[in-house]
Amino acid sequence: MSFIQRTNRRHHSSALLSGAFGVTLALTGTGSAAYSADAILAEQSPEPPFDQARLNPKTDRNWSLIVGAGGSYEPEYEGSENFTVSPIPVIVFTYGEWLEIDPTGVTITALEHNGFALAGRVGYESGRDEDDGDRLKGLGEIDFAATVGAKASYTWNSLELYATIDQTIDGSESLIGTIGAEYQAPVTERLILGAGVEAVIANDKHMESYFGVNAEQSGNSGLPEYQAEAGFKRVEVSASATYMLTENWLVRGEASLGVLTGDAADSPIVDEKLQPSTSVFVGYKF
């Protein structure tokens, strides 16, 4: 299962991408034999119990590619009470179990042993614009920037426990840490269900950039001055479902509820601490 950065408004629009990455390996081996057999059995009742061997038959191919598109319904920015609909392209490529390239960046798994894994990654932080919400007027923009990070994880059956750390190069100069757990498993030969929970901690620079209001910003925006310090900024729970429409076509939906905490929750730019979002996409698996 793959990582996803959860540091700014890109967190919401990337929720469905996170799900796509998470099911890529599970769907890699879903071949024509499994689907044709499933189509025949669909005419019978009851549906047979799940057969892992049929979902992931042996294959010499060690890569996977998913291409698709979808949309998300999410807060305008982290802390907004207003929502926006955004289109999202989905392209996910994996090679073996060590390389993943997706819209959030590149992840390379350097070490994997008995369920433990250590990976490095390069990605980006999209920043924030003043026109993302009315309360942001006068606060200035947070520049787009590259990120570098690492992830340590332990996987047992369908459960993954993980911890990540990501440093933004330039831009907000954020240092973000995430701890979480994700469970994702097939229920039938076509349906995969998942659930997750995680907590995000951020350094002073991230909190000041996204939730603080300095004297100049206060004068420009009319908001009171506010200093946001390092600490836990968000906890989140999520649920997802992925369904194979055919041998290659799939549809995925996800819903999540984030709750801003600490200095982030008390920021004058925050209209609403509860941050729900939903997303859906349709993809084609090569």
- 284: pLDDT strictly greater than 50: yes
Domain with residue 28: its CATH number is 2.40.230
- Top-confidence range, 19-23, 36-40, 195-199: 195-199
Residue 2 located in a structural domain: no
Give how many domains the chain has, as a whole number: 1
pLDDT of 21 over the 80 cut: no
Instruction: With respect to residue 148, please indicate whether it lies within any of the assigned structural domains.
Output: yes
Q: For residues 140 and 130, is the Cβ–Cβ distance under 8 A? A: yes
Token pair listed for 122: 């390069």
Q: Which domain holds residue 135?
A: 10-285
Q: What is the pLDDT of residue 184?
A: 96
| H or E element in which residue 218 lies | helix 215-221
Residue 54 confidence (pLDDT) above 50:
no
Q: Is residue 5 part of a domain?
A: no
Query: Is residue 32 predicted with pLDDT exceeding 50?
Result: no
Least Cα distance to 22 among 151, 160, 178 occurs for: 160
pLDDT of residue 61: 78
11 vs 95 pLDDT, higher one: 95
Q: Is residue 4 part of a domain?
A: no
pLDDT of 41 = 41
Q: Residues 156-184: pLDDT tens digits?
A: 999 999 999 999 999 899 999 999 999 99
> Residue 206: inside a domain, yes or no?
yes
- Whether 150 is covered by a domain: the verdict is yes
User: Over the chain, what HEC string results?
Assistant: CCCCCCCCCHHHHCHHHHHHHHHHHHHHCCCHHHHHHHHHHCCCCCCCCCCHHHHCCCCCCCEEEEEEEEEEEEECCCCCCCEEEEEEEEEEEEECCCEEEECCEEEEEEEEECCEEEEEEEEEECCECHHHCHHHCCCCCECCEEEEEEEEEEEECCEEEEEEEEEEECCCCCEEEEEEEEEEEECCCCEEEEEEEEEEEECHHHHHHHHCECHHHHHHHCCCCECCCCEEEEEEEEEEEEEECCCCEEEEEEEEEEEECHHHHCCCCCCCCEEEEEEEEEEEEC
Please report whether residue 249 resides in a domain: yes
pLDDT for residue 46: 53
Q: What is the pLDDT of residue 103?
A: 86
In a domain, 1, yes or no: no
> Beta strands of 55-96 (E only): which ranges?
63-75, 83-95
Residues 164 and 3 sit within 8 Å (Cβ to Cβ): yes
Give the mean pLDDT of the chain: 85
Predicted structure pTM score: 0.81
Backbone angles phi and psi of 216, in degrees to 5 = -65, -45
